A and B are shown apart, each in its own frame.
Chain A
Amino acid sequence: MAGSIVSIINKYAPRDKSNLIAILQDVQKKKGYITPEAVDKISSHLWISRSRIFGVASFYSQFKFTPPGRNSIKICLGTACHVQGGDFLLSALKSEIGISPNETTEDRRFDLERVACLGCCALAPVIMVNDTIFSNMSVVKLMELTDQYE
């Protein structure tokens, strides 16, 4: 496991701090999230402190620090979805799968993320599971939806 991180890192010049985000992106692509070991390895390669790397990575919402679930749920809380009751969906989802946004269920079945817009406001409120968009959602529909994914 550590070997693959090293092979990613070694593609980039050592001590060149400008490579940080590119490396983080590659690690995320490979591992699905940024592991503490990866931060350690990047730190000694680029000579940036671990805290600083974490600071940079946690600034961008694209980087995750928990392992992704088998299915990823994105719940939209943009203006239209918010007006249509996206908040209710979120709290229902929270109690249904038992996690808050940016977390993964213990059995790795779901991870949850809140997004600002999915680009189909006319269908609000919407939820995206993996690559599929579910429109005009309601709490009841939501309950049925989660059962379909394992």
Chain B
Amino acid sequence: MSRRITYITALINGDPVRVREGLTVLDAARQAGIYIPSICYLENLKSYGGCRLCIVEIKGIKGFPTACTTPLEPGMEVLTKTTELQRLRSEILELILSEHPYTCLVCGDKKECMDFMHTTRKAGTITGCNFCTSNGDCELQDLIDYLDLKDVRYPISYRGIPPEKNNPFYDLDYNLCILCGRCVRICNEERNSNVLAFVQRGNTSIVGTSFNESQAEAGCEFCGACVDVCPTGSIAEKMGKWAGLPDRSTETTCTLCAVGCTMNVNTRGGRIVNVGPKPGGRTNPHQLCVRGKFLPADINHHPSRIATPMIRKNGKWIEVNWEEAIQYTAGKLEQYRGEQFGMICSAQDTLEENYSLQKFSRKVMGSNNIDLHLSYPDKELVKDIHSFNLSSSHTGTRDILKADTLLILGADASVSHPLLENRVRKAFTTGRTVLYANTHSTRTSQFANHEINYAAGEEYYFLYVLLAKLANPDGQFTKQNVAKAGKRSGVTGNELKPFVSALAGSRNLWVIAGDDLLRNASGRDTLRALGNLQFIKDGKANCTITFLGYEGNLYGGALSGAHPDLLPGFDPVTDKKAVRKWNKNWDTELSTGVGLACNEMLGNIKKDGIAALMVAGDIPPQKKLAKLKFLIQMNMFRTDLSEYADVVLPITSFLEHDGHFLTLDGKIKKLRRALAGPGKTKTIPGILSELAAAMSESGFSNSRPGSIWKEIQSFIQIPARDTGNGKHSFQPLTLKSPKETTDYPFRINLQHDHFTYRGNSLTALVPDLQAIVYTNDRIEKAKNG
């Protein structure tokens, strides 16, 4: 059914150009490597035809059509750079520049000035290139060069608007704005944030918000898309504003949530300039959210980042060299081999890191007490998810737009997984049916055709009623039970009607289920109910279910073995055959006892319980940790947990090492080292390798992520693939009699803090982020009275 792509040939500047049918003249020229100047044009956005700089001459067409709005036709003869065009463009550019401080752009000393800056003078506001943050990265500078403009005949009409510095993460100086409209369009069309608009009219028109409120008040999500696309210095990132032009650009993967967006880290001299488009480009097809766009620079270059190993001796912290730190730690660890050792790692670590950590715990320390911090409270749940994933086809979340109906359950994805939610918004604006069910309204509600707010904690009962209305195989759902569940979920039949009819009529359904759904007492039941939904739909239509795990690599972490019951590849530690296999793989003798989960470890700190703990990242500090005999923290910062630690080892961040990461749609994504870690930081596998050597253990000699990845792949398959026996069937759902208690007259609905990295609170580390998180809270409170 796929449409055949037809190609057409046209002449651009006399050369034949063969491109796909349906492109504009501008797109075709760019594909052929022919430059046509333009300011308002942005890849992936609708053509705008605003700046008029892309005018061309086309044989047989009167006047000068804009290349960005003219579709290329077979046999067209296009000229892009004639004297007449250049003259017209120069005039247009002059008009554009009449509202931009252009003095430096056309200064006679420009060339020398760029090299030696001999004419630099001090100025309060930006009046020319030397004081502009975008100097060297300004599209007007490129245009001036292309058109060879020597003088502008109009005086500068300086708007005299005070620069706005009250927003977190970026500053605005609308005196530099040339009203190309890119930021307005990307904010509305691509991100659907709808914060920016053109306000006023004529020569007072400007990009702004309603009643001049700040961007944050207008509901800005700080995705930074407008910062990336701005061709001038009007919108400039606070961090890296004066860092100069990047000398290196690295494409890597963001691990701050499970979507795993591709990100471009631009660095100069080993410091992050920004995370944004590749140098020379303006468009950034890999859209990011506030975490990916603004936080990496803040975390990596945070002033309280630690760079030297530290040992606590007689109650005092002493900075030591690595040799001493390793010898001391290894010596201590020798005393705590066996079940008294525990390991807590993070779901935001790479597969390699988690694999090394669990291997170290199992092989060297002889303990199966290993778990991800923030893993599911119910250990069985991750296994259920695994079998669910095995029996479902992995479809990339890019295909969300292929669905005709979307059901979003129990997730505030606009905060937890913004780029996935962005696709939901697009689906809504392009006419798909979006159904949204959560305990409360969120930003996603604005992009839903129908919304249901069910009672907090009663997700399962909501799904129960929904399923009962959709289908009733073998009369499983009795009237009585449905009525009971309906009452608990607080959802009325009228509210359900549009949901049921949309679900029943859907030919291609996509369900997005938030982690809140699974992280409660009836989590496993809820998962079963979702499986049933898929079963009901699957016969007649396509049904995909995507889980929004709280943290990056939650499932990947378990897959690489960071689980108390499971060896890598979901081999149970109680299975003798599996243990034999891993004994052979690692040349060791593994313990076959089920380990303790994160909470169990922390609850079991006592004399014959856990005595030593290794924490990769951070966990909330608690008094009972004082009873530990030995606590090692591997982290980028000293945190409250360090008060209880005996050794703190500085490690690299996700931008400072290679690795692999499993996204929520089951794709493997690569992390590439964008810069070196500060000071003497080491990678986690590097530290483990030295510790193992000091403890005379083998199997850890190669600490490079590449070779660890090879080792993982030689033993297990990541992502796990269907073995063919995990097909769904309708699973009976039970209705537990609710345990109502009068002891607790109210419920508290806990919300996960999505702004963490390796357990470190990003809100605590980055003050600008506090401004956003707390503003949103304030708005939420105001709305709820």
A interface residues (Cβ-Cβ under 8 A, vs B): 36, 39, 47-55, 58-61, 65
Q: Is the CB of A51 within 8 A of B446?
A: no
User: Which of the candidate stretches B61-69, B194-202, B297-305, B452-460 sits at the interface with the other chain?
Assistant: B194-202
Q: Is the CB of B209 within 8 A of A54?
A: yes
B468 contacts partner chain A, Cβ-Cβ < 8 Å: no
Q: Is the CB of B446 within 8 A of A54?
A: no
Inside 8 A of A58's CB, which chain B residues have their CB? 199-201
Starting from the known contacts A51-B195, A51-B218, A54-B199, 5 additional A-B residue pairs (CB-CB under 8 Å) come to A36-B210, A51-B194, A52-B197, A55-B199, A61-B201
Inside 8 A of A51's CB, which chain B residues have their CB? 194-197, 199, 208-210, 218
* The one of A48, A50, A59, A60 that contacts B218, using a Cβ cutoff of 8 Å: A50
Cα of A58 to Cα of B198 in the assembled complex, Å: 9
Say how far B32's CB is from chain A's closest CB, in angstroms. 37
**16 residue pairs from A and B, CB less than 8 Å apart:** A47-B446, A49-B197, A49-B218, A50-B209, A51-B199, A51-B209, A52-B188, A52-B194, A54-B199, A54-B208, A54-B210, A54-B211, A55-B199, A58-B199, A58-B200, A58-B201
Give 4 nearest A-B pairs by CB, closest first: A49-B194, A54-B210, A55-B197, A51-B197
Q: Is the CB of A53 within 8 A of B446?
A: no
Looking at chain A's contact residues, the main secondary structure is helix
Cα of A65 to Cα of B212 in the assembled complex, Å: 11
* The one of A36, A59, A60 that contacts B211, using a Cβ cutoff of 8 Å: A36
Say how far B387's CB is from chain A's closest CB, in angstroms. 41
Inside 8 A of A48's CB, which chain B residues have their CB? 194
Say how far B129's CB is from chain A's closest CB, in angstroms. 30
Given A36-B210, A47-B446, decide whether A54 and B197 contact each other with a Cβ distance below 8 A. yes
Say how far B158's CB is from chain A's closest CB, in angstroms. 19
Cα of A59 to Cα of B208 in the assembled complex, Å: 13
Residues 196 to 234 of chain B near chain A (Cβ within 8 Å) = 196-201, 208-211, 218-219
Closest to B200 in A: A58
Say how far B207's CB is from chain A's closest CB, in angstroms. 9
Say how far A139's CB is from chain B's closest CB, in angstroms. 27
Closest to A43 in B: B210
Q: Is the CB of B194 within 8 A of A39?
A: no
Interface centre among B199, B210, B211 (most CB of A within 10 A): B210
Residues 401 to 436 of chain B near chain A (Cβ within 8 Å) = none
Inside 8 A of B196's CB, which chain A residues have their CB? 51
Inside 8 A of A61's CB, which chain B residues have their CB? 201
Q: Is the CB of B446 within 8 A of A39?
A: no
Q: Is the CB of B201 within 8 A of A50?
A: no
Closest to A50 in B: B210
Closest to B202 in A: A59
Q: Is the CB of B211 within 8 A of A39?
A: yes
Say how far A51's CB is from chain B's closest CB, in angstroms. 4
Residues 170 to 212 of chain B near chain A (Cβ within 8 Å) = 188, 194-201, 208-211
Inside 8 A of A65's CB, which chain B residues have their CB? 211
Inside 8 A of B199's CB, which chain A residues have their CB? 51, 54-55, 58-59
Inside 8 A of B211's CB, which chain A residues have their CB? 36, 39, 54, 65
Contact mask for chain B residues 36-55; partner A; CB cutoff 8 A; 1 contact, 0 none:
00000000000000000000
Cα of A36 to Cα of B782 in the assembled complex, Å: 15
Inside 8 A of A52's CB, which chain B residues have their CB? 188, 194, 197
Say how far A1's CB is from chain B's closest CB, in angstroms. 17
Cα of A48 to Cα of B194 in the assembled complex, Å: 8
Q: Is the CB of B218 within 8 A of A55?
A: no
Given A50-B218, A51-B194, A52-B194, decide whether A39 and B210 contact each other with a Cβ distance below 8 A. yes
Say how far A148's CB is from chain B's closest CB, in angstroms. 33
Inside 8 A of A39's CB, which chain B residues have their CB? 210-211
Inside 8 A of B188's CB, which chain A residues have their CB? 49, 52
Interface centre among A49, A52, A65 (most CB of B within 10 A): A49
Q: Is the CB of A53 within 8 A of B210?
A: yes
Cα of A54 to Cα of B197 in the assembled complex, Å: 8
Closest to B218 in A: A51
Say how far A128's CB is from chain B's closest CB, in angstroms. 22
Inside 8 A of B209's CB, which chain A residues have their CB? 50-51, 54
Inside 8 A of A47's CB, which chain B residues have their CB? 446
Cα of A47 to Cα of B445 in the assembled complex, Å: 11
Say how far A101's CB is from chain B's closest CB, in angstroms. 12
Cα of A135 to Cα of B218 in the assembled complex, Å: 45
Interface centre among A47, A55, A59, A65 (most CB of B within 10 A): A55
Cα of A58 to Cα of B210 in the assembled complex, Å: 9
Closest to A60 in B: B201
Cα of A60 to Cα of B199 in the assembled complex, Å: 10
Inside 8 A of B198's CB, which chain A residues have their CB? 55
